[in-house]
Amino acid sequence: MATNENLPPNVIKQLARELKNLDETPPEGIKVGVNDDDFSTIYADIEGPAGTPYENGVFRMKLILSRDFPHSPPKGYFLTKIFHPNIASNGEICVNTLKRDWNPSLGLRHVLIVVRCLLIEPFPESALNEQAGKLLLENYDEYARHARLYTGIHALKPKPKFKSVARSESTATLNADQTTNTSVCIVDTKTAVSGAVVQPTPLAPSLNTMKGGASGQEPPTTALNPVVEIGVSSGSAAAAPPVVAAAQKKEGGLVKGQDKKKIDARKKSLKRL
């Protein structure tokens, strides 16, 4: 079994940095896995690109690094069966980046991105799967049908995206509480201004429950009289409820009667003089 001892220390250090970077900021549609005891084999799950016959499938592959990596390119294999011109029946990948176009400065990220791009744009001229290459050139619809069939049978299914149900429920509860509080405030305000009958709410019982039950006794009058605050708006006094207005009118009448009695008394004393 291959171990990290098969790779030079400087290569292991470089791979560790690359793998950490791939884990923190993975390329689109690619997830990398590795055995810490064996950096010579890198595993990756590649999502089928949208708009291709490989869509809605996840394909597992591996890169095998030799002892003289990065001076020699890794070997790539698909572990998931796939119908593709540039992928052989044993999973071997044929792409120029892993052969004549290899450059020691190329990293694992570049290799994985190139392999995923191969699913978007195959190269039938250098086909390892002759049937797939021929169909791609002569009858694309038939090629796509075969590729989708393989994808549906052999490819892994993408994992559903995680959703925070608890957060959604707490948000819904908060909205419900805010709606209830708003409706209570609206009822109280209308009652204070117009003197309308109080509607049943959690803070205001219905009229039926306030009556004296079977005895038919009426509840105290104060139970139905809401507290009224008279404010000032735009420099003028706000309109008072009917009860308050009547009290003010009565008080004004008493004051006028007292003033009239004082005037009459003064007139009588002047006549005596």
CB burial readout 211-221, b (16+ within 10 A) else e: eeeeeeeeeee
CA dihedral 70→80→50→146, nearest 10 degrees, is 130
Set 94, 95, 108, 119: catalytic member = 94
Give the closest residue to 119 by CA, choosing from 191, 36, 59.
59
Give the closest residue to 22 by CA, choosing from 119, 111, 105, 108.
108
d(CA 251, CA 248): 5
SS3 89: coil
Structure tokens at 231: 């404010």
Structure tokens at 236: 């003028």
Q: Could you tell me if 60 and 42 are in contact, meaning their C-beta atoms sit under 8 angstroms apart?
A: no
Tell me how many degrees the CA angle 180-185-190 measures, rounded to the nearest 5. Answer: 130
Structure tokens at 132: 């797939």
Give the closest residue to 83 by CA, choosing from 30, 136, 157.
136
Structure tokens at 70: 């990065």
Active site residue 94: yes
What are the angstrom distances between the C-alpha of 95 and each of 82, 122, 195, 263? 15, 9, 84, 117
Q: Could you tell me if 78 and 132 are in contact, meaning their C-beta atoms sit under 8 angstroms apart?
A: no
Q: Which residues pair with 266 in a beta bridge?
A: none
Catalytic sites, residue numbers: 94
